Amino acid sequence: MGSYTSMSHRPVQIAGYSVGPESPPFIIAEMSGNHNQSFERAMAIVEAAAQAGAHAIKLQTYTADTMTLDLAHGEFFIDDPNSLWKGNSLYSLYQKAYTPWEWHKPLFERAKELGLIAFSTPFDFSAVDFLEDLNVPAYKIASFENTDLRLIARVAQTGKPLIISTGMASLVEIEEAVDTAKSNGCGDLILLKCTSSYPAPPHTIHLRTLAMLKERYGVQIGLSDHTLGNATAIAATALGATVIEKHFTLSRAEGGVDAAFSMEPEDLKNLVLDTKDAWEALGSKEYTLSEEEQSSKVFRRTLYVCEDITAGSILTESHIRAIRPGKGLPPKYWQEVIGKKVSQDISRGTPLSWELLETPQVVESH
């Protein structure tokens, strides 16, 4: 394995957003082909992502010809009965799913107007050149391209932050991708744990590998999430994910190449809020009480006098109870105070203190 300098705690700046442990997870809405070849729908997806509170919208930059050959037999045809895309040739599928390149600029400009970061996944050198002309702030390498080291090198040479999905990759292949990116000038690299099935059942995700990726490669880690719902993304946040990417559509019922495993606007809004809550709940490694919790201490159980007592009486178990609120001695002193003589008359409902007893004051340790 290569020698890696840890970047896992250093923020990655993407168009003004500080991606890292000190910020809520960077939420990327992946449009993919859910525009259904409608520019108006693509624009509406951008606007809905911004309204839901996502930090970024991501496109995919390719054409059917840059992805595959115009063949419809053998390995170029999808006949897997479990595939969402059964019955399509690869070429016809990418014709349906690709985002026309002339759409990129107006979609990026609209995103910027709405405060939404826009970038893309390139699939060949021509797409990188095109996206460089649009001055995208970051790049994503898809799981199916994470073994294309020439493409990774070309993207790394732009000097932009790079996010790589690890779907289907072995540790050797991940190491090759990381080494290629870093040796070609990538200083800001994020790895996304990904399970490349659509949709992905939760038991296939293996989130415990997040910590291993972070430690092994010294990079920030995140999740490219193809599960349904937000539970996996929330769990990933709790395990240190700084980036969450999920496919996004306006309506699953309206169909689309990726609609079956895509979020709708309300889902995305909840994802943003839930992962932020999970991130806030992580808090500090120091064991301290919050201000809110400090104020609750007054309602702890403590020792109170539960019947009137005259000066000089010997304190018995019938005289005191451990009850709320928290103004008296802690209940741990029960045995110590029993049998002590009281120094003055005490009324029922008085919090028990050392000053009320004829005994040296005990100094509590903290």
- pLDDT by residue (tens digit) across 256-267? 788 889 999 999
Q: Does 281 score more than 80 pLDDT? A: yes
Angle (CA) 86 91 92, round 5°: 60
Tell me the C-alpha distance between 51 and 31, whole Å.
15
Q: Does 285 score more than 90 pLDDT? A: no
Higher per-residue pLDDT: 347 or 8: 347
Tokens for 273, please give them.
Answer: 């809020």
pTM: 0.86
Q: Among the CATH numbers 3.30.200.20, 3.90.1210.10, 3.40.50.740, 3.90.1150.10, which is that of 291-356?
A: 3.90.1210.10
Q: Is 48 helix (H, G, I), strand (E, B) or coil?
A: helix
82 contact partners, CB below 8 Å, separation of at least 6:
none
The whole-number average pLDDT for the span 6-34 is 92
Q: Does 363 score more than 80 pLDDT? A: no
Q: Does 294 score more than 90 pLDDT? A: no
Tell me the C-alpha distance between 29 and 164, whole Å.
16
H helices within 98-242, ranges in order? 101-113, 125-133, 149-156, 171-183, 209-217, 231-238
164: Cα separation from own chain's centroid: 16
Tell me the C-alpha distance between 179 and 174, whole Å.
9
Q: Judge whether 266 and 51 are in contact, CB under 8 Å.
A: no
Other C-beta atoms closer than 10 Å to the C-beta of 71 total 12
**What are the Cα distances from residue 21, in Å, to 194, 211, 241, 305?**
20, 13, 8, 50
Q: Is 335 helix (H, G, I), strand (E, B) or coil?
A: helix
- pLDDT by residue (tens digit) across 1-15? 555 666 666 899 999
Angle (CA) 6 8 10, round 5°: 95
The whole-number average pLDDT for the span 121-146 is 98
- pLDDT by residue (tens digit) across 303-325? 999 999 999 999 999 999 999 99
Predicted pLDDT of residue 5: 63
Q: Does 180 score more than 70 pLDDT? A: yes
Predicted pLDDT of residue 258: 85
Tell me the C-alpha distance between 210 and 55, whole Å.
22
Using alpha carbons, select from 2, 35, 159, 174 the residue that is nearest to residue 107: 35
- pLDDT by residue (tens digit) across 351-360? 999 999 997 5
Tokens for 227, please give them.
Answer: 């599960």
Q: Judge whether 276 and 289 are in contact, CB under 8 Å.
A: no
Q: Where are the domains of the chain?
A: 12-62+98-282, 291-356
For the ranges 83-92, 194-203, 323-332, the lowest mean pLDDT is seen at 83-92
Q: Among the CATH numbers 2.40.40.20, 3.20.20.70, 3.40.50.300, 3.30.590.10, which is that of 12-62+98-282?
A: 3.20.20.70
Using alpha carbons, select from 60, 45, 249, 62 the residue that is nearest to residue 165: 60
330 contact partners, CB below 8 Å, separation of at least 6:
300, 302, 303, 364
Q: Does 365 score more than 60 pLDDT? A: no
Predicted pLDDT of residue 155: 98
The whole-number average pLDDT for the span 233-242 is 98
Q: Does 65 score more than 80 pLDDT? A: yes
Predicted pLDDT of residue 364: 53
Q: Judge whether 195 and 168 are in contact, CB under 8 Å.
A: no
